[in-house]
Amino acid sequence: MTVRRPTIGVFDSGFGGLTVLKALLELIPDAEYIYFGDTARLPYGSKSVETVARYAVEAAHYLEAQGAELLVIACNTATALALDRITAAAHVPVVGVVEPGAGAAASVSKNRKVVVIGTEATVSSHAYRKALEARGLEAREKACPLLVPLVEEGWVEHPVTEEVARIYLGEAFGDGFHDADALVLGCTHYPLLKPLLHRVAPPHVSIVDSAQSTAHAVADHLERLLPLTRAVGEERRACPRLKFFATDSMEKFRRLGERFLGHAIEDVQHVDLKE
């Protein structure tokens, strides 16, 4: 029996969501993926809730029009500020990155104290703190605004980035949070810094990558929604089919995107979402 491949739409304001796509490809290789990066309108972190919600809903509708049967909001800011609006506007199931990340932190933390690092917008929304407190954990959120530009510069192992991360984490784990034992990466750029963060975080701390947690949440959704789509035997090793759409420079998307995805990006199509 030929098993139908699910079509998964992945949305982000730019390139960071490609770390979520990378995790999805590793866990669910037998699917078709449509990635939408709203690169012309990033960063979302400095925009209002209304604007982020409008942009994200437009992107969700575009992905649905391209055939997406499930939407992954790979953008922490869009998830934190507008997941309810996106879910209400979409006609297919929607998975964000915050709840899976909080769930993974709850499963690894023994001390029930967690540090979350992210952008200003994600931290200001307190979405992770609310999700963690709902699970009975104490959370401290720390905005790390310098890390995204350092990652996009390609400085993932640069001494400057290590020193910046050391300062941020020193503040995050200080003042009564020395015994926090989980660090949630609340930004999709941060998985590229995992080796560096392992070095500068306290040795007893487990690092929770919300990209990987989200991929597991999507796999669980697929098992429930489309139980026949998971291929078996030879079908299981089918190559994923990838389509990329960006609202700004395709050349820049290819160049920067390769760092996040871990391999070459061949075909990027430009799309212009009208205001």
Q: Looking at 95, 102, 187, 211, which residue is catalytic? A: 187
d(CA 175, CA 81): 28
Which is nearest to 213 in space by CA: 81, 116, 89? 116
| CB-neighbour burial class of residue 35 (10 A; exposed 0-12, middle 13-18, buried 19+) | buried
**Strand pairing partners for 139?**
114
Catalytic option among 23, 60, 75, 256: 75
Q: Catalytic residue at 187?
A: yes
Half-sphere exposure of 160 (CA within 13 A, CB side): 8
Contact 56, 74 (CB under 8 A): no
Measured CA distances, 229 to 3, 8, 141, 219 (Å): 6, 12, 38, 11
- What is the three-class DSSP state of 47? coil
75 included as an active-site residue: yes
How far apart are the C-alpha atoms of 27 and 147, rounded to whole Å? 27
The whole-angstrom distance between residue 45's C-alpha and the CA centroid of its chain comes to 14
Tokens representing 164 are 């910046």
Which residues are marked as active site?
Answer: 75, 187
